[in-house]
Structures are given as structure tokens and as C-alpha cells.
A and B are shown apart, each in its own frame.
Chain A
Amino acid sequence: MSEPTTEELLDITLTVNGVRRQAQAPARRLLSDFLRHDLQLTGTHVGCEHGVCGACTVLVDGAPMRSCLMFAVTAQAHAITTVEGLGTIEAMGPVQQAFTECHGLQCGFCTPGFLTTITAYLEENPEPTEHEAREAISGNLCRCTGYQNIVKSVLRAAEIRRERAAGTRP
């Protein structure tokens, strides 16, 4: 065996939800594991570790990406936003609020990946049609909801964004 038995640990610094966070981890640490286990931000979930399910999706400089398909060491130059950065129970983001209003989740395991994906999508396309909303979530797997109420949540989130922009915060 030529592999090293003791791995070098790197100092990895990330900006997560606006806060600079540092931890030591080997180069092979996936961004998903780094967030979850090294930084204890467990809101990001891991569903397949091969990039298909989308549960681990986080925003990298505002763009949704699979955190299971990035190494933490590579993510250092970027600003990461996780579900914890989208809002709090007291001040939910529009997509979070829409999901609670429209029964957009059941077990909630895939939900963080949907929330990050949709948050970024609405920045690009603030007034999606129902068809576009469905297409926008078509890279994320959910086993509980049948997606119908997630589609509804996308449309409702767009509405909440408009309401908030107009100052009629519900």
C-alpha cells in the first residue's frame, strides 16, 4: 500500500452565512461534511453523495451547487450560504415561509436543498409560471411530497417576495 496512513490536516477557512469560519480538515473533506461535522451546521443534508438528489445544495457566491461534489478546500475563496443563512424561525426567508404555508415539506430531509435552489432561482426569475417553477425544482429529489406543494411553494415564495418588496410584509 502506497497510500499515506496519516493524513495532513489543512487549515480551511470558509465564509458561511456571512461569518468567517475555520477548522482543520484533510483535503478530501467534502464541503457537505465540512459544513455538517466540522462547522456543525447540520441544516445541509446528505442524501446520495453522488450529486443526484440535491439535498446538500448550498449557495456558492449565490449560485446553487452540490456541496457533496465540492471539496471544502476548494470552496475557500467563496461565500457559502446554507439553509441556516436563509432566515430564522422569527424571520423566515420568503421561500422558507412559503414552504410552511403550502405544506411544501413532509419529512423535511430534502427541504434545505430545495430552499437554497429556489432562493437562487427566484433571484434570476422572480415571476415564474407554474411550468417554470416545476422545471426549476426538477434537479432535486423529494420522496415525500410528490412535488405538487413544492411547485406551489415556489409560486407563493415569488408572491411573498413581491409583497415584501412592496412593503406589505405579511
Chain B
Amino acid sequence: MTTKMFGAPIRRKEDPRLVTGGGRYLDDLGHGALAAAFVRSPHAHARIVDIDVSGALEVDGLVAIYTHEDLPGRVGEPLPLLIPHPALTHGRTPYALAKDEVNHVGEPVVMVVARDRYLAEDVCQRIRVDYEPLAPVVGIERARDGAELVHPDVPGNVAAHLVQQNGDVEEALAGAPHVLDLDLSIERSACMPMEGKGVLARWDPEKAELRIFSSTQTSTGVRAAVAAKLDLPLAKVECIAPDVGGGFGVKIMHPWPEEILVPWAAKTLGQQVKWTEDRREHFISSAHERGQLHQVRVGFDDDGRLLGLDVKFWHDNGAYTPYGIIVPIITSTQLLGPYKPGAYRCEFWSLYTNTVLVTPYRGAGRPQGCFAMERTMDAIADYLGLDRAEVRSRNFILPEEMPWDHGLLFQDGRPLRYDSGDFPASLAKLKALVGWDDFAAYRAEAQAQGRKVGLGIGCYVEGTGVGPYEGGHIQIETSGRVNVSTGLTSQGQGHETSFAQIVAEELGVPIEDVFVTTGDTRRMPYAVGTFASRAAVMSGNAIALATRNVKAKALRIAADALEVAVEDLEIVDGVVQVKGAPGTQMSLGTVSVLSNPLRYAFDEAAKAATQFAGTTDLSKPPVADDDEPGLEGKDFYSPTQATFANGMHAAIVETDPVTAEIRILRYCVVHDCGTMINPMIVEGQVHGGVAQGVGGALYERMVYDESGQLLNASFMDFLMPYASEVPFIETDHLETPSPLNPLGIKGAGEAGCIPVTAVIASAIEDAEGFPITSMPISPVELWELRARHARGELPSLAHHAAYRTSEENQ
């Protein structure tokens, strides 16, 4: 057998290229293309009165200026609503260029095409747009009170209202010995990949074909959307995702206005046109997420076991709903985490505001749900004076209770049914890793030195690998090179490596011979995209199935040629050989030659497949009726439901007694994503997720003023953490394979960031002794909470360890 590939920390195949400047990201392509830039709304809510371009026409290098009026046919119609849902009764999507009205700062109003981006921006600066400002709706409270409307035909600003329940929550709460109410809020943040969005389009007038390159998480989605909008046959449109500099969700939304406008302009002008989003554009015209207010009412018994859970929340969806209500649906279902909630009801309202639209950001509604649930767990523990880990453990769904059906519908429209997981084992690992039981002693020691420290915990379950499907295609060349393609895209997850590991292992070839292509509709036109921690689950399994198909074919051909039984053959290091008699063998390359009966010998190896080579059985046609030429295999993987990964995090924080600065001293992660293809890559995903979580917990927020201006639309003021702000992350893994797919994989992409906000809030609360109910939290906010607590406006925790100890000390 060759070196074990599956499960090994193989170095990434893409890295040598990427570390030597050989990456090809969107803006690295299309040298000499015309550049697009946009005049974007400076107002959150306004009517467009007039657009005057006369002052801009003299700029040398100007090619075209387009406003909504210039957009023909479907290009001028509203962009599609990608994920309709019956509860989304008032879905609204924007136009590619604003028509009559703008609904957030940054909405594109005029498109400029010029010789280069500098000149295009010069033109933009000279275009005058007159606006009649309208009352802006900013923030969930103002949206909820409905006094002013974002869209005049959407009463109360309510885009969607959805209730899901399982059991009679009223009755459960009425009968519960204890009931607590919590108000919990999370502010807005954003994916903020280091590479912004971008699109390059080439129109070939001779063939009437369009080729699009987009920094996207779904090339098939962009292709279909552009073909539909431009009224082109799908066969005349190709879309390729080149190297993509991070996505985290924002690039799954499609088509972005620019993804329609740039191809349309390229076709109209007959020239290459490129748009590279700059950082300010990314802040004000891509997507945000996370902003939600939650009201939790929980009933529980004397042991802290949940009897009933009633959750209401209000979701800020920004100005439009092109991605539907996926984020709040995920919150409402994934809030439950590893627990049995008793009777459960969740009701949400998705509200319009005059701010940037909201689409999923890594975690996609789960960080909010986890925050709500985990704050609730801590509140129960404090109320009853119980250990916080113990209360969690008493509510866990146990391994023997799997599969566990929550009786709700998940984001894929399928039952919320956990397939596997061992939550008690995960918790035991976490407690050991962080030293849960030793913390009291550590705290006492710290207190003696005048330091405030706290320990926090958070648990989550994550539905990963949602359908509908992905595909894999394997082709073995006569050289022995194995070409693998799958349609979903890559944004740094290492697909070139992990998918190659699967193929190398399944087929029995050296990984060096395996070459993976993702996100190219020319190679695999059927695909969904990379989001929801689904790539390894979906494409990984599809590729495994496809590999098994091609392997079967290779063995069949080799068995014929070597005149042995298929069962007697194995493939080792790219060579098909007889088990126990490796002298009888042929390379996969040779099998590939034989798989493709030839008339012409284009090279030495090909001679063996030509008609006079004497290798053919004259009683059969060169290609059998049930066969195809070539050594290829294809398959698709389409699961009945998502598979559920889980994890538990704990952190120790220290808060400065004077300045209220918050420092994470330790951060511990236990993570279960089923079988791991490449533990090094999984670990990297966890690290990155935790860092984004730390950003969301302590640093990042979108600060809008009342007029809807985003006050921190730069990296100077939107505080993404540097290395100096991210703690060392300690990890441990548990592997409970998913029973749902052949490889036993669960997704790992989003996991790291889900519980971080909950964990940090838990730890700060533990350090301070009063409830933390709103995140992110800055030193200023903590300092103000301390002042409110000192004035008696904020209650102390009921059974707080730190206070007990300090009282005992007095």
C-alpha cells in the first residue's frame, strides 16, 4: 500500500505556488482590461432626483457611463431573490443600478468604465447626483417600531416572520419550577476577506461567447445568473473562480450587481472589462451579518434541566433580502446546540433597515444562537448555584439517543436531526484541556495578587454539508496524471490538497500525480458552491464515489489485458498489479491508453491502442455498448440531510481592575468534525475561526450613526484583530464519524468562530460578577457596566464564585 494519505497532515499542494507570487487572484488577471468604478449613494435613504454626467465627459480615458436607464431588458430588472421561503412575505431585492431610490449608503447608482481605475474614479468624482433625502431607518429598535419605513410597501419593515415549535411551550413554562428571562444582543460585523470581490468579463464577438472570472464562492451560480440576465444560452457562458482571497460567506451571495453589470458592459463594449472592489466599497456595498436582538424565556427544574424554551428574536436584514432568511432560520434551529430543550418555540422577525444588506458570514446565525443558548445555560447555573459545565452536561443529548430529531425544519428545508456526536466525551476533553476543576485555585491565587480572572465555556452543534449535491469527475491521462474536478470553489480551504488525498487513497496513486480543479464551469458544470462547511462533506464524498467508479473501470480493463480476475488486482503507486505477484502489472497510464481505442498513434504510448496493434478482441466493437472511451469516472453525492459537527470551547480572561481592558489568557478548543481528511487543515480552519470569533467578541462591529452613515468603513476603525489580539489556541479533537456519508466526514469550516462570543462573555461575566448580555464588548463598555453595577443598576450574579471567594476573604 502507498503511504497513507487520508487522515494525514499532508503539506498543501497549492502553497509553493502561493508563496512565490504565483497565485492568480481576480485582479491579477485581465491585464489591459478596461476598469469599472461606481458612483455609490452617500445617503442611507433618498430619492434620486437627477444625475448629471456633463462635467465628467472631458476626462481623457472615459469609455462609458451607465445609469439604470441604460440597462436593457432583464439587466434593468431587480436582482433575483435566491432563496425564497413562504415566511419571506415581503422579499425585496435591489436593481443592479439604483432605480429612483437608494436604500443604503454604498448602493451603486452609476457605473463608469474607463481606461484604468484611476481615471474611472476621476469620472465618478465629477458626476453629480441630486438626491432628495428620506428618513433613514437604522438599528433594530427603529426598524421594529415601524414609524419610518425602508420600503413603503412593507408594513412594519417586516420582511419575514416565522414561528417554529416542538411541544407546548406555554404549558411547559407554566409548569416549570423556575423561569428566567434574558435579553441578549449581538451587533453587526462582516466577513471582510483580505481580497475584496471582483469580476472580469471577456466577450468573444466571433463566437458570441462570454467568459467570466469572479472572486466568488459559486461559479455555477454566477454563470446561471448572468446567462439568465443577459439572455444568453448557458452553453455560451463560462465562469471561472480563480484563486480567491478569502470569502467567509460574502462571496456566496450572487449575482452581486457588478457580476451582472461587468459582463453586460463587456458584451456591450466588445472589450474586456474588470472591476476590483476596493476596501471602502467592500465595507459599504458588500454584505454584513450578525445584528440580532433576542428575548429568551426558559423554564427548568431544580437540577437545571430544561423544561421549556421560548425564544423571540429580531434580525436586521439590511436594505434587501436577496439571500432570503437563511441566517435567522439557522439561529432559530442551531440555537439548541447539544441540548434537549424540552418544549421549544422560536419566533423571529426579519426587519429591513437602511443599511448594507445581510447575507451569511462564517457561522451564519449560529454565533448569535449559541450566544443566546449559552448565556441561558450560565444564567441557569448561576440561579441554582450549580457548576456551569454540570448544568450543560445534564441537558446534553446522549450518544445513545442519536439520531436526535428536534422536530424542526433546518435551513435546507429538511428535518433538524442530529446524526451523531458524543457530547459528554467532548466536555470531558475540554474540562481536562482547560483545567476546569483547578480554576478555583487559580482564581484565588490571582485575586490575592489583585487580579481579576474568569473562566468561560460555550458549546455548539453545527449542521454542515447541506445539499442539494456536489459532483466529482476523475480522468486519468495516458501519462498517469489524474485530473480531478469538482464544481464548488476554493477560498483557502486547501481543496487541491484534501481532495487529492481522497483520490490518492481511494485510487492508490501518488498524491503528486493528482491535480484538482475547482470552481471552473468548463470542467464541472453541475455544482452548488462553497458555504455552510459543506465542501469536504459534499465534494469529498462525490470525489470518493467518482474515484471508486474510475478505479472499477481501470481494474476491469487491466483484468482483460492481463487476463486475470478483477478481484486479484490491486493498485499500488499508480500501478495495477496482481496481488501477491506484482511482476504481473501495468501502469494506470497504460490502462488509460487501452481505455481509448485509437485510429492514430499520436505518441509512443498511444500505439498500443491503435487498430493494428493486435490487442483488440475482434468479436466486440472497439467501445462496448455499455461503455465509454477514456479512463474517466464521475459521480454525485446528494445526502438526505445535513450532518452535525460539534465542539466546545473554554477561555480564561483577565480584566484590568482599573481600565477594564480585556485579555484572553488561554483559549481551548475541543472539536468534532467526524473523520478528518487532513488534520493540519482542520486545525488551521479552527484557528482561523477562533480568530474571527475573537474579533466578533472584542473588536469588530459596524458602527452606524442615526443617519445611516457607516462611521468605521476602514481597517483603521473596523478593528480586525492582528496577531497581537489573538490568543494562542489550544486544541483537542474527537472523531465521531458521520453515519450519513461514505467517508464519515462532517464540516469544519465555520466551527471555530461559532461559540467564541458566548465563551468570552461567559468568562468576562465570571471575572466581573455581573451579567454580560450584549456583545461585542469593549473596555469602555465593560468600564461603564462596572459603574452601573457599582451604582446598583446592574445586579450581581446570584452565586458567583469570585464574589463568594472575596466575601470569604473579608
Report if A and B touch in the complex (beta carbons < 8 A).
Answer: yes
The verdict on B744 contacting chain A, using a C-beta distance below 8 Å, is no
A106 touches B493 (CB 8 A): yes
What chain B residues lie within 8 Å of A45 (beta carbons)?
A: 25, 194-195, 245
What chain A residues lie within 8 Å of B118 (beta carbons)?
A: 26, 28-29
A 17-48 binary contact with B (CB < 8 Å = 1; else 0): 00000000010110000001100111111111
Choose one: A41, A103, A109, A115; the contact of B681 (CB below 8 Å). Answer: A103
| Those of A99-121 within 8 Å (CB) of chain B | 99-101, 103, 105-112, 115
Known contacts A42-B21, A43-B23, A149-B687: A143-B279 contact under CB 8 Å: no
What chain A residues lie within 8 Å of B442 (beta carbons)?
A: none
What chain B residues lie within 8 Å of A41 (beta carbons)?
A: 21
What chain B residues lie within 8 Å of A53 (beta carbons)?
A: 194, 279, 715
A36 touches B684 (CB 8 A): no
CA distance A101 to B509 in the complex (A): 22
CA distance A29 to B119 in the complex (A): 11
A 131-149 binary contact with B (CB < 8 Å = 1; else 0): 0001101111111111111
| Those of A150-170 within 8 Å (CB) of chain B | 150-151
B684 to A, closest residue via Cβ: A103
The verdict on B680 contacting chain A, using a C-beta distance below 8 Å, is yes
Choose one: B19, B24, B192; the contact of A100 (CB below 8 Å). Answer: B19
What chain A residues lie within 8 Å of B690 (beta carbons)?
A: 146
Known contacts A48-B715, A149-B684: A87-B724 contact under CB 8 Å: no
A153 to B, closest residue via Cβ: B19
Choose one: A47, A100, A151; the contact of B11 (CB below 8 Å). Answer: A100
A142 touches B194 (CB 8 A): yes
CA distance A138 to B725 in the complex (A): 9
What chain B residues lie within 8 Å of A52 (beta carbons)?
A: 714-716
B 678-705 binary contact with A (CB < 8 Å = 1; else 0): 0011011011111110000000000000
* Best-buried of B15, B25, B752 by chain A (most CB within 10 Å): B15
Known contacts A5-B59, A150-B723: A50-B716 contact under CB 8 Å: yes
B722 touches A89 (CB 8 A): no
Choose one: B59, B245, B681; the contact of A107 (CB below 8 Å). Answer: B245
What's the tally of chain A residues with a CB closer than 8 Å to chain B?
A: 63
A141 touches B19 (CB 8 A): no
Known contacts A1-B55, A41-B21: A144-B246 contact under CB 8 Å: yes
B729 touches A146 (CB 8 A): yes
Known contacts A50-B714, A143-B248, A147-B691: A111-B19 contact under CB 8 Å: yes
A100 touches B15 (CB 8 A): yes
A40 to B, closest residue via Cβ: B31
B60 touches A5 (CB 8 A): yes
The verdict on A88 contacting chain B, using a C-beta distance below 8 Å, is yes
CA distance A141 to B244 in the complex (A): 16
What chain A residues lie within 8 Å of B27 (beta carbons)?
A: 36, 42, 46
The verdict on B17 contacting chain A, using a C-beta distance below 8 Å, is yes
Choose one: B22, B126, B194, B278; the contact of A141 (CB below 8 Å). Answer: B194
B60 touches A6 (CB 8 A): yes
B 227-270 binary contact with A (CB < 8 Å = 1; else 0): 00000000000000001111010000000000000000000000
What chain A residues lie within 8 Å of B279 (beta carbons)?
A: 47-50, 53
A135 touches B194 (CB 8 A): no
CA distance A125 to B595 in the complex (A): 58
CA distance A109 to B688 in the complex (A): 14
CA distance A115 to B85 in the complex (A): 47
The verdict on B439 contacting chain A, using a C-beta distance below 8 Å, is no
Choose one: B19, B122, B192, B723; the contact of A96 (CB below 8 Å). Answer: B19
Prevailing SS type, chain A contact patch:
loop
What chain B residues lie within 8 Å of A84 (beta carbons)?
A: 20-21
What chain A residues lie within 8 Å of B31 (beta carbons)?
A: 37, 40
What chain B residues lie within 8 Å of A140 (beta carbons)?
A: 722-723
B492 touches A146 (CB 8 A): no
CA distance A53 to B723 in the complex (A): 12
The verdict on A57 contacting chain B, using a C-beta distance below 8 Å, is no
The verdict on A59 contacting chain B, using a C-beta distance below 8 Å, is no
Choose one: B20, B195, B244, B691; the contact of A88 (CB below 8 Å). Answer: B20
Known contacts A143-B193, A149-B684: A137-B723 contact under CB 8 Å: yes
Nearest-neighbour CB distance to chain B for A160, whole angstroms, equals 13
The verdict on B154 contacting chain A, using a C-beta distance below 8 Å, is no
The verdict on B726 contacting chain A, using a C-beta distance below 8 Å, is yes
A148 touches B715 (CB 8 A): no
The verdict on B39 contacting chain A, using a C-beta distance below 8 Å, is no
B724 touches A83 (CB 8 A): no
What chain B residues lie within 8 Å of A112 (beta carbons)?
A: 21
What chain B residues lie within 8 Å of A36 (beta carbons)?
A: 27-28
A89 touches B21 (CB 8 A): no
Nearest-neighbour CB distance to chain B for A25, whole angstroms, equals 10
A100 touches B59 (CB 8 A): no
B 470-510 binary contact with A (CB < 8 Å = 1; else 0): 00000000000000000000011110000000000000000
CA distance A28 to B121 in the complex (A): 13
CA distance A37 to B722 in the complex (A): 29
CA distance A44 to B195 in the complex (A): 12
The verdict on B51 contacting chain A, using a C-beta distance below 8 Å, is no
What chain A residues lie within 8 Å of B681 (beta carbons)?
A: 103
B194 touches A89 (CB 8 A): no
B19 to A, closest residue via Cβ: A96
CA distance A149 to B683 in the complex (A): 10
Choose one: A46, A48, A145; the contact of B714 (CB below 8 Å). Answer: A48
Choose one: A137, A146, A147; the contact of B689 (CB below 8 Å). Answer: A146
The verdict on B14 contacting chain A, using a C-beta distance below 8 Å, is yes
CA distance A58 to B656 in the complex (A): 38
Nearest-neighbour CB distance to chain A for B127, whole angstroms, equals 12
The verdict on A92 contacting chain B, using a C-beta distance below 8 Å, is yes
CA distance A49 to B716 in the complex (A): 11
The verdict on B12 contacting chain A, using a C-beta distance below 8 Å, is yes
The verdict on A55 contacting chain B, using a C-beta distance below 8 Å, is yes
The verdict on B653 contacting chain A, using a C-beta distance below 8 Å, is no
CA distance A87 to B16 in the complex (A): 10
A87 touches B20 (CB 8 A): yes
Nearest-neighbour CB distance to chain A for B695, whole angstroms, equals 9
CA distance A28 to B193 in the complex (A): 27
| Those of B530-556 within 8 Å (CB) of chain A | none
What chain A residues lie within 8 Å of B680 (beta carbons)?
A: 103
B21 touches A146 (CB 8 A): no
Known contacts A107-B492, A108-B245: A89-B12 contact under CB 8 Å: no
Nearest-neighbour CB distance to chain B for A54, whole angstroms, equals 9
What chain B residues lie within 8 Å of A139 (beta carbons)?
A: 722
Known contacts A100-B16, A106-B494, A107-B491: A146-B688 contact under CB 8 Å: yes
Known contacts A105-B15, A135-B724: A146-B687 contact under CB 8 Å: yes
B195 touches A134 (CB 8 A): no
What chain A residues lie within 8 Å of B25 (beta carbons)?
A: 42, 45, 109
B714 touches A107 (CB 8 A): no
Nearest-neighbour CB distance to chain B for A113, whole angstroms, equals 9
| Those of B14-59 within 8 Å (CB) of chain A | 14-25, 27-28, 31, 55, 58-59
What chain B residues lie within 8 Å of A147 (beta carbons)?
A: 687, 691, 722-723, 726
Nearest-neighbour CB distance to chain B for A126, whole angstroms, equals 20
The verdict on A82 contacting chain B, using a C-beta distance below 8 Å, is yes
| Those of A69-86 within 8 Å (CB) of chain B | 82-84, 86
CA distance A46 to B245 in the complex (A): 11
The verdict on B330 contacting chain A, using a C-beta distance below 8 Å, is no
* Best-buried of A36, A89, A103 by chain B (most CB within 10 Å): A103
**Additional 17 contacts, C-beta under 8 A, given A28-B118, A84-B20, A147-B722:** A37-B31, A47-B194, A49-B278, A49-B279, A82-B21, A88-B20, A89-B20, A100-B15, A107-B194, A107-B244, A134-B724, A140-B722, A141-B715, A143-B692, A144-B492, A145-B684, A146-B690
Question: What are the 4 tightest A-B residue pairs by CB atom distance, in nearest-first order?
Answer: A43-B21, A107-B492, A109-B245, A146-B687
23 A–B pairs (Cβ distance < 8 Å), ordered by A: A1-B58, A6-B60, A7-B60, A29-B118, A43-B20, A47-B195, A47-B245, A47-B279, A86-B20, A88-B20, A105-B15, A106-B492, A106-B494, A106-B688, A107-B244, A109-B193, A110-B194, A111-B19, A139-B722, A143-B246, A143-B248, A144-B246, A146-B729
